[in-house]
């Protein structure tokens, strides 16, 4: 039987093109890491911060996952005015949460939402030449995200998402990162 080099080339290209489609990233564990650009809704602070987040999740099927996440909200600093005195305002916080993540897979793209309950620990302070005020707060509240990810190869995906964290103050972020699927 004579082999045709064109048919071999076409078969190879089809196999490479279908690799993301044949990847089984629909079930099982995954780990993710990314960066986010955050804004906090605190009086006296009009600043953005870049920080990191980490996720560990389990996909039950193509449409549903559960996820544990740790999010550093960032370190914010800005000049502050208290009456006639000028000083410095600072804010920093962490969020750790568990969420449900419903997904809508479309070819190699997954659209998703994240809704969960988080424990937050935030600190803010205003320091002036005549004194200061420090406020630490922690507790439980809801958080959520909307995003999309692109599956790359058999085990990787990259994502872009918008998140809202309801701590003592509202923190909004836009983040991107990658996930490895086991």
pTM of the full structure = 0.80
Q: Which residues contact 87 (CB under 8 A, 6 or more apart)?
A: 79, 80, 81, 126, 127, 128, 129, 132
- Per-residue pLDDT in tens (0 to 9) along the chain, 182 residues: 455 555 554 454 444 444 444 445 678 999 999 999 999 887 777 788 999 999 999 999 999 999 999 999 999 988 877 778 888 888 999 999 999 999 999 999 999 999 999 999 999 888 877 777 888 999 999 999 999 999 998 899 999 999 999 988 899 999 999 999 99
The C-alpha atoms of residue 121 and residue 145 are separated, in whole angstroms, by 19
Q: Residue 47 in 3-state DSSP?
A: coil
What are the extents of the domains in the chain? 5-181
Q: What is the architecture, at CATH level 2, of domain 5-181?
A: Beta Barrel (2.40)
């Amino acid at each position: 039987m004579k082999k045709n080099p064109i048919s071999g080339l076409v078969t190879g290209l089809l196999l490479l093109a279908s690799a993301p489609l044949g990847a089984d990233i629909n079930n099982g564990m995954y780990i993710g890491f990314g960066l986010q650009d955050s804004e906090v809704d605190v009086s006296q602070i009009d600043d953005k911060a870049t920080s990191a987040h980490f996720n560990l999740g389990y996909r039950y099927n193509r449409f549903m996952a559960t996820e544990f996440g740790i999010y550093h909200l960032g370190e914010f600093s800005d000049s502050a005015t208290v009456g006639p005195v000028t000083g410095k305002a600072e804010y920093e916080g962490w969020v750790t949460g568990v969420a449900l993540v419903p997904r809508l897979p479309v070819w190699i793209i997954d659209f998703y939402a994240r809704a969960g309950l988080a424990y937050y620990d935030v600190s803010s302070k205003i320091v002036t030449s005549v004194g200061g005020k420090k406020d630490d707060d922690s507790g439980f509240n809801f958080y959520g995200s909307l995003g999309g990810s692109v599956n790359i190869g058999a085990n990787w995906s990259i994502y872009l998402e918008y998140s809202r964290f309801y701590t003592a103050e509202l923190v909004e972020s836009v983040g991107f990162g990658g996930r490895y699927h086991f």
